[in-house]
Amino acid sequence: MMSDHKVPVNRKQEQLEEYKVTDQGQALTTNQGLKVAEDEFSLKAGERGPTLLEDFHFREKMTHFDHERIPERIVHARGFAAHGEFELYQSMKEYTKAGFLQDPAEKTPVFVRFSTVAGSKGSAETVRDARGFATKFYTQEGNYDLVGNNIPVFFIQDAIKFPDLIHAVKPEPHNEMPQAASAHDTFWDFVANNQETAHMVMWAMSDRALPRSLRMMEGFGVHTFRFINDQGQAHFVKFHWKPVLGVHSIVWDEAQKISGKDPDFHRRDLWDAIENGDYPEYELGVQLLKEEDEFKFDFDILDPTKIWPEEEVPVKLIGKMTLNRNVDNVFAEAEQVAFHPGHVVPGIDFSNDPLLQGRLFSYTDTQLIRLGGPNFHELPINRPVCPFFNNQRDGHGRQTINRGAVSYHKNSLAGNTPAPVPESEGGYAHYQERVEGHKVRARSESFKDHFSQARLFWNSMSEPEQLHIIQAFSFELGKVKSKDVRQQAVDMFGHVSSELMTQVADNIGANPPQAEESKVTKASPALSQLNTTMAAATRKVGVILDSDAPVEQVGEVLSALKLAGIQAELISSKLTPIKGADGQELELDHTFQTADSVIFDAIYVVGSKRGDKKFEEETRYFLREAFAHAKPIGASYAGEELLEKESLKGKPGVLTASSAEDFAQEFIGAITQHRFWERELA
């Protein structure tokens, strides 16, 4: 029997393209290629009878569906990804023989997956957390994975503590709360009793843990790696990704509200930017250190809780990555991609950082359970672009059909192929670092200073950034139920700054810290986000207007915003287009129900003279929120009266068309500044 109602299957070609329907025009078949005559009714014994076991099509469809999920990543479960390319500015031959770092004329395809760390796969994206920043370079010498984070240090110094850290930060097992949050007892108990966490916790409590966009955050390789050149000489190297748009954040109240209003905020932002042709760009930077300078610093370069301050070891920008293509299918690409810090190419090698060493074990192991067997390298997203051959065979989900009888090395039947290649011809050879020592479970003395760089970070923050850190600690510890754990945390971070912890202690009803404060007075200005690139391009403005709006005037402002690369979205009570006297028409993007101040970088209020109370209330709510979050506000027409009612006129970052010489340009200037922190400090 055929389906009994018609759906509009005859869509126009453009519509199909919009939704990227790739199976268009194809017959529906089973996985065996059998054409299916009916896909809405299972096979039954009579119209009102039981379903028959014989219905192979129903069983195939349902069985596949039942197995559609794979285990989520134990960490970094919530992620999103995009394709792009990497181009080199100058040859790095002097330092490394890595093929993709030799020739500026050559482009290397890349795939980047961004993620939060603690939350489950469906959790909100604007939570307070580190962000994963994992890049796969598909080079001609094999895949190279730079599996980093947006924070340059880590919580712990030895991989053996990773399961403990993650158990502590994940939802507490007895009630599975809280989701995607560090603001709970077990996390802070872990922190206070594992004080190597101090430096990273300072970063996690800072604005860095609340990126405005995945396009506006740095990436770091974290560990010390090695570059090896064709002479066999080694340099220590740290990797950085620097976003061309600068490093920017949102505020905590905003972050929490976005989690409800748009839990997909970051992926949407990345997706939209790429669809709009605003391709995210990141410059690749390296900090290089000669082998003989290993012991030149007051920290150990193998310790992953330490940065190399940029002012002491400059970051050399060597290339740029551009993300220019969205995924076609999130599961096939972002979910099935398998990164591994041990996916290296000749010219890139490891250091003895004990965290890195442990990671080199963990990543393959995790893919085996997550992707169901040892053949995950055959999934399209994980395949190298260069040929690959070895004697590995069979296993779950094997796709390659290896021909012939020989699958072992050494052999004579296949002329001893595939054969190892000498280092001089591109074979990977590990750097021959000299190692000696006793077999011990111990930590080097040089790893034991946990507070100096945490203090350096605090010293490097601007006033608003320090205020945000105080607020973050107060929130997080305020959520901790154990008074004892709260006090332990206050005392621990008293070693970093007693000013910081005295204020936090006051906010959470703890005793001021007694600890001796770090004596470090130096700062690293590169760590403050206030010293980053500021740009208006790709920022998003919410424009509030109603049917009586002066369409021509608004149209002029909108054109100026567009010219500056700013995205304007129009909000009103209804989605009915607004018509101007000269026939110009403004399409609406949102109603008050579908938009909220928190999803915009700035607000432009045109307002309405119609005297609609509801419209006025909604608009005033936008104004209050935008003002509280330190965002630029522009007003013209009736919007100016609402500013007056909210007592916002003349406040920093609040502009009115009637008092501006060139309102659009001044508003763009305010958007370039992003936030007006003086409001918070006042």
User: Using CB under 6 A as the criterion, which residues of the chain lie in contact with ligand HDE when the complex forms?
Assistant: 73-76, 79, 113, 115, 132, 134, 147-149, 154, 159, 162, 222, 337, 339, 355, 358-359, 362-363, 366-367
Amino acid at 43: L
The smaller minimum CB distance to ligand HDE, of residues 41 and 363, is found at 363
Q: How far apart are CA 194 and CA 477, in angstroms?
A: 16
The smaller minimum CB distance to ligand HDE, of residues 159 and 456, is found at 159
Report whether the peptide linkage leading into residue 8 is cis, meaning its omega lies within 30 degrees of zero. no
Q: How far is the CB of 115 from ligand HDE (least distance, A)?
A: 5
The residues with which 350 forms a beta bridge, in sequence order, are: 225
Q: How far is the CB of 426 from ligand HDE (least distance, A)?
A: 27
Nearest to 188 by CA among 528, 514, 512, 508: 508
List the Cα angle 200/201/206 in 5-degree steps.
100
Write down the catalytic residue from 76, 199, 468, 674: 76
The smaller minimum CB distance to ligand HDE, of residues 384 and 512, is found at 384
The smaller minimum CB distance to ligand HDE, of residues 104 and 358, is found at 358
Q: Return the H-helix or E-strand segment holding 219.
A: strand 219-220
First to last CA, the chain: 73
Q: How far is the CB of 271 from ligand HDE (least distance, A)?
A: 17
Write down the catalytic residue from 57, 83, 143, 149: 149
Q: Are 96 and 348 in contact (CB under 8 A)?
A: yes
Nearest to 83 by CA among 221, 219, 274, 267: 274
Starting at the edge strand found earlier in the chain, the sheet holding 602-607 runs: 590-591, 567-572, 540-545, 602-607, 633-635, 654-656
Q: How far is the CB of 617 from ligand HDE (least distance, A)?
A: 43
The smaller minimum CB distance to ligand HDE, of residues 314 and 358, is found at 358
| Residue 468 known to be catalytic | no
Q: Is 225 helix (H, G, I), strand (E, B) or coil?
A: strand
Q: Are 116 and 127 in contact (CB under 8 A)?
A: yes
Q: How far is the CB of 253 from ligand HDE (least distance, A)?
A: 27
Nearest to 635 by CA among 552, 575, 553, 537: 553
Q: How far is the CB of 66 from ligand HDE (least distance, A)?
A: 24
Q: How far is the CB of 120 from ligand HDE (least distance, A)?
A: 13
Chain residue whose CB lies nearest ligand HDE: 132
Please identify which residue in the block is written with the tokens 């003989």. 292
Q: Is 249 helix (H, G, I), strand (E, B) or coil?
A: strand
The smaller minimum CB distance to ligand HDE, of residues 99 and 132, is found at 132
Q: What are the phi and psi torsion angles at 281 (to 5°)? A: -130, 140
Please identify which residue in the block is written with the tokens 């984070």. 149
| Residue 76 known to be catalytic | yes
Q: Return the H-helix or E-strand segment holding 191.
A: helix 185-193
Q: For residue 118, give the DSSP letter.
A: S
The smaller minimum CB distance to ligand HDE, of residues 76 and 128, is found at 76
Q: Return the H-helix or E-strand segment holding 628.
A: helix 613-628
Active site residues: 76, 149
